Amino acid sequence: MKYIQGTFLTGYVTVVVEGEKPEVFFQVCMNQGITVWNVEKIDTFHCRGNIRLPDISFIQQIKDDMPYNVTVEQKKGLPFIFKQLLRRKEIIVALIASFVLILCLSNIIWDVKVTGVSTEIEEKINKALKRYDIRPGKWTFSVDPPSVIQQNLVNDIPELLWIGVQKKGTTYIFEGVEKVIVEEEKKSGPRHLVAAKNGVIENIYVSKGRPKVHVNDYVEEGDILVSGDLTETDDKDEEKDRDDQKKNIVAAEGKVMARTWYKMNVTIPFKASYELLTGRREKTYDAKLGNIQFPIWGFSKPNYKDMDIEQEEHSLYFFKWKLPFKIVESTFFEKQYNQVKRTKEEAIEDGIKQAKDELKLHLGPKTKFISEKILHQTIDNGKVKLNLFMVVAEDITRTQSISQGD
C-alpha cells in the first residue's frame, strides 16, 4: 500500500484506544486525513491501530474532544532506533572512532609500486620517491599532485621517456617507459669552417682539415678558417685527377678562438629595492566543505610583517570514495623588502657586471672576458647610464658546405 510506504524512515506508533465503540476514533482520524492502518478490534472496549509519528499531535487534539483513552503500545521506525542509540553513548563513541579510523587509514599511503622499467631504473625511481618523501605511512594529502610528481621524475631521471602516476585507493602506481637510445653515427658532408663574425685569432685547434689562418690574424665574417679541402691549390695541381681530389675533401672539425668586441648600454639606479625570502615559514591546515572553511591545525596566521602564501587542496577518501571534504594546506613564507643605495663607483661596477652577465647569456657560459672600457657615462634622474666597449674571447667558427660539383 503506497500510503504507508516510508513509514519506517519517518517512524510510526501502535496505539490502543479504550472506550465505547473505539473503532469510531479511528474513523474520525481517517475522516480528518490521518493515515491509519492495521486496525484491529481487541474486544468490545479496546481497539488497536498504527499511526504515523508526525500525526501524533493531531491524534492528541482528537482525543481531547472525544471520551477515549489513547495509549501508545509500540514505537517503531528509524527515529526511535536513533533515539535509543543516543542513549547508549558507548555505541556512538565506537561508531565515531571507527569512522575516524577508517578515514585516517583511507588517506595513508600503504603501498608504492613501480612497473614497466628495468631493475636499474626502478631503483633510481625508488630513490627519487624517497627524496620526495613518497613512502608507505605518509599522508596522501601531504604529497604533491600526480602531475607534479610525474614532471619531477622525468626531469630527475634522464632515462625515462614517460612515467604515469596513478593513485588507486591507498596505493601509488608508477608505470614508466624507458628511452630507447639509438646512437647513430653522424655523417657530416664535406665542409669548411668559416668565421661567423669579425675578430682577431687567439687560438686554433684543428682535428680535421687544413688551417687557413694563424694566431693574431684579423678575419672578417665569412673568411675560411679551416678548409675541408686537403688538396694544395696551386697551378700545378689543376690537372690532377678529379676522383683523387674528392678523396681529399673532408668535413673540417676544430675550434678557433678569437677576440671579438661589443658595445653595450646599461642603466643602473643609485637606489633599488628587492624582495628576499628569509627562510622562515609556517603551515596551517583547514577543512573545507564547499565554500565553508574552518581551521583544524594552526588557528592563526604567523605574525610576519610581509609574507607570501601558497595553498594546496587535498581530497579525502573513505575507502575508495572521494568525500566532499578537502584538506587545505597553507604555507606562509616570510619575506623582506630590502633597499640598496649605491655610490657612483658601486653603480658603475654593478653596471659592468650586468653587461657581462647579459653578454654571457647571449654568447654562452664559456665566453671569456678580456677587457672592458667605459666609452661614455652620464648621471640622470638618479641613474648611471654607461656606454661600454667589451672585448671577449669566443669560438667564432661556423660550418659551410663544400659543393663537390664545382
What is the C-alpha to C-alpha distance for residues 334 and 387, in angstroms, rounded to an integer?
Answer: 39
Which candidate, 356, 137, 185, 383, places its Cα nearest to that of 262?
356
Higher pLDDT, 180 or 374: 374
At residue 224, what are phi and psi to the nearest 5 degrees? -75, 125
Percent of the chain with pLDDT over 70: 92
Contacts of 370 (CB under 8 A, 6+ apart): 259, 391, 392, 393
Contacts of 244 (CB under 8 A, 6+ apart): none
Quick check: 403 and 363 in contact, CB under 8 A? no
What is the C-alpha to C-alpha distance for residues 152 and 320, in angstroms, rounded to an integer?
Answer: 26
Say which CATH topology domain 111-178 has: Ubiquitin-like (UB roll) (3.10.20)
Lowest-confidence segment of 6-20, 46-60, 82-96, 211-225 by average pLDDT: 82-96
Q: Which CATH code is given to the segment(s) 2-82? A: 3.30.70.2280
Domain ranges of the chain: 2-82, 111-178, 191-254, 263-271+341-395, 277-337
* Each residue's pLDDT tens digit, 38-56: 888 888 888 999 888 888 8
Residue 309, amino acid:
I
Q: Same fold for the domain at 2-82 and the one at 111-178?
A: no
Residue 236's pLDDT is: 45
Residue 387's pLDDT is: 94
* Each residue's pLDDT tens digit, 190-218: 899 999 999 999 999 999 889 999 999 99
Reported as a pLDDT band with limits 50, 70 and 90, residue 406 is very low
The region, left, alpha or beta by phi > 0 then psi within -120 to 50, assigned to residue 298 is: left
- How many of the other CB atoms lie within 10 Å of CB of 257? 19
